[in-house]
Amino acid sequence: MIVFFRGEHRMISQAETHLYRLLPKNAFVRGVNVLVGGTAGAKNRTVLAAPLLTRLSPEDFGLLGVISGLSGELAIPLPEDDGEAANVAALSLILVGLSTLLSGVLVWQFGPAIAHLLGGPALAGYLWLLPVAVLLSGA
C-alpha cells in the first residue's frame, strides 16, 4: 500500500508529466531508448555491486547461486572435499525435485488458465511437458 503525504502525490504527478514530455514520440526511437536504458541500468547495478562482489570467495558465489537461482550445479566443483561436493550435488537434486513438484502442481491445478494467459488455449494439452523439462534440465 502506498501512502502519500500532503503534496507528494502532486510532485510525483508533475515529475511523471515532465518525464513523459521527454520521451520521444516515435515508437522505434522509444524502443531503442528502452533497450539502451535497460542495458545502462543493468551495468550501473553491476558497478554499484562490485565492491561487495569482490569480497566474496568462490565458495560464497556457489552458495549464492544455489540460494538465488536454484542452480546448485554451479557449486558442485567448489568444495575441496568430495564428501561436501556429494552433499552439494544431493542438495541440488533435491531442489530440482522440489521445483519439478511445484511446476507439476501448478500445471495440474492451473494449466488451462496458464494457457489462456499465454494466449494459446491449445497449449493446455502440452503444459504437462513443463515439469518434465524442469526435471530433465535440472538433473
Long-range interactions of 72-76: CB distance < 8 A, separation 24+ = 72/96
Instruction: Compute CA 126 distance to the chain's CA centroid, rounded to the nearest angstrom.
Output: 24
Instruction: Compute CA 96 distance to the chain's CA centroid, rounded to the nearest angstrom.
Output: 16
User: Quick one: pLDDT at residue 101?
Assistant: 92
CA angle 72–81–134, rounded 5-degree value = 15
User: Quick one: pLDDT at residue 68?
Assistant: 53
Average pLDDT, the chain: 76
C-alpha span between 70 and 76 (Å, rounded)? 13
105 has pLDDT over 50: yes
Please return the burial class of 100, using the count of CB atoms within 10 Å of its CB with bins 0-12, 13-18 and 19+.
buried
Domain boundaries along the sequence of the chain: 1-55, 58-139
75 has pLDDT over 90: no
1 has pLDDT over 50: no
C-alpha span between 97 and 52 (Å, rounded)? 32
Amino acid making up residue 40? A
